[in-house]
Amino acid sequence: MRIEYGDENDVAYIYLVDHIGAGESARQVVLDDDGIRGEVILDVDREGKVLGIEVVGASYVLRPETLATAIREEEGPADPYGTGYGGGWTPPPAH
């Protein structure tokens, strides 16, 4: 497991697998809870297995010590889908 974080957008991505291939994430499940100040989205494969977790508003949702362990965007852009996109992590296309 590893965490990547972009300060500019306050978005963290928690990888639960080593690599997420293009098209491997079949759907996104938004966890909706009024008690969370951000947004938590699960990336799920076709078998219903969770591949990763996107956290929007990460500084509100994750503990500071958790974010302190994250790879910062400036250290190397996140690219969970292997797209080669150089501007940081981009979410998969909506289904």
7-26 confidence digits (pLDDT tens): 999 999 999 999 999 999 99
Decide if pLDDT at 88 tops 90: no
- Look at 82 and 3; give whichever has higher pLDDT: 3
**For the CA atoms of the chain, what is the radius of gyration?**
13
Residue 45 near residue 30 (C-beta atoms within 8 A): no
Count Cβ atoms within 10 A of the Cβ of residue 15 and give its class: 0-12 exposed, 13-18 middle, 19 or more buried.
middle
Tell me what pLDDT residue 42 has. Answer: 97
Tell me what pLDDT residue 32 has. Answer: 84
The H or E element spanning position 38 is none
Residue 28 near residue 95 (C-beta atoms within 8 A): yes
pTM to 2 decimal places? 0.75
Counting every residue written for the chain, the total comes to 95
